[in-house]
Each structure stands twice: as structure tokens, then as C-alpha cells.
Structure 1
Amino acid sequence: MSYQPPSRTRFYRDKRNGKFMGICAGIADYAGFDVTLVRITMIAAIFLSSGSILPVYFIAGMVAPDRPRELDATNADEKEFWQSVRRSPARTARDIRLRLKDIDRRLGDVESYVTTENRTLAREIEQLR
């Protein structure tokens, strides 16, 4: 059996940041919402559904895997990037493509500047000899 690295686009229970089973903290991390907002929404859902959502919560708590520690060492930009991937993979891919095109264009400009003969500079160097 080969080692499968943890997926950044999968839902995990976040027990380290959670209060009870880590489901709300996992939803907040997965969707990019504030965990307090998710907890308030969960409490409202419990009251509005007369508690019928509680079995779903407990089943999710038993079925969802714990968040791997390898995913904890991310900075805010990286965390925001992976949340945008989960929200809209196609849009994120398009944004990455546009960034790479811009980098390629800028590299082309630098290459053009470096490889183009600068006649004024060449003339000044020749005058110095």
C-alpha cells in the first residue's frame, strides 16, 4: 500500500480548533467562513429543525477523518488559496493561468531588454576605450 498525502480540498474535522467533535471548525475551514458564524448557524439549525439535524452532526463526526497535522503549517495566503480552490476550482485555475501568462510576458520583456543591443551604451563603451 502506498502513502497517500492528505488532500487540501477534502473536508476534515478540525478537533484542534473545534469545541465539540470539530465539525463546525472543519466546515469553517473548508468553506472559508468564520467559525463563530458556522457555530451560530448550527445552533439556529438545531432549533429550527427541532433537533433533527443532530443525528447528521454526529454521523459527520464519526465518518469525517481528523485534519492531518501536515495541513496546519500554512500561512494565511496559502489557506485563502486552498479555500478558493474548494469554492471554485475552474476560476482558480483561470486565475493561475492569467498569473502565469503575466509572469511569462514580464520574463519576455526582461529577456528582450537584456538581449537587445543597446547602441547608446555600446557607443559610450567604445568611446571609453
Structure 2
Amino acid sequence: MADKRLVRSTEHRWIGGVCGGVAEYTGLDVTLIRLVVVIGAFLAATTLLIYLFAWVVMPEGPPAAPPASGPAPAPPSG
């Protein structure tokens, strides 16, 4: 089994990467996690406190791989 760690996402980050990290750890869609957090924030202020606590406590994950670039442009002729 792979060594999974709960870390803040560097790829799926909007604010702190907490929702992206939880989504990567659980295998759920990041949009679903964000939706749950937003709804929870409206229902209970403790959701915001938990998010802020996780932002401080969770380590940042490794940097995301740079996007793959297409073929190199041809040099100018002349």
C-alpha cells in the first residue's frame, strides 16, 4: 500500500490547499469537498475554525509538476 499523507495540495489550491489535500487523500472530488466546507461554514462557524486549524497544521505537499509543453517551436529560417 502506498504511503499516503494528508498534506495541503499545491495543485488543487484556491485558498490554502486544505480542501484539495483532503480530496487527494480521500480520493473524492475536490469540488465535493469544497461544497461541503462552504455549506458547513454557513451552518456552523466551527467549520471555518477547523479549516483554519488544518491550514496551519497540515504541511504543504510537494510542488505540482510543471505542465507538459508541446513540441519546441521551429527556429526561424533565414
Question: What do residues 41-91 of structure 1 show as CA deviations (whole Å, max 9, x unaligned)?
Answer: 111111121x2221111111011101113xx56xxxxxxxxxxxxxxxxxx
Structure 1, unpaired ranges of 5+: 1-6, 74-129
1:61 aligns with 2:31: no
Partner of 2:16: 21
What amino acid sits opposite 1:60 in the alignment? A
Partner of 2:27: 32
Q: CA deviation at 1:16?
A: 3.0
Map 1:68-79 onto structure 2 (within 5 A): 68-69=62-63, 72=64
Query: Aligned equivalents of 1:19 and 1:28: distance in 2?
Result: 13
Question: Which 4+ residue blocks in structure 1 deviate beyond 3 angstroms?
Answer: none
TM-score by length of 1: 0.45
Query: Aligned equivalents of 2:40 and 2:3: distance in 1?
Result: 27
**Cα root mean square deviation, aligned:** 1.8
Map 1:28-107 onto structure 2 (within 5 A): 28-49=23-44, 51-69=45-63, 72=64
3-state SS of paired residue (1:21): coil
Asked which structure has the greater RCO (Cα within 8 Å, sep 6+), the reply is 2
3-state SS of paired residue (2:46): coil
Query: Aligned equivalents of 1:46 and 1:25: distance in 2?
Result: 17
Q: CA deviation at 1:15?
A: 3.1
Larger radius of gyration: 1
Q: Percent identity between the aligned chains?
A: 34
Structure 2, unpaired ranges of 5+: 66-78
Partner of 1:9: 4
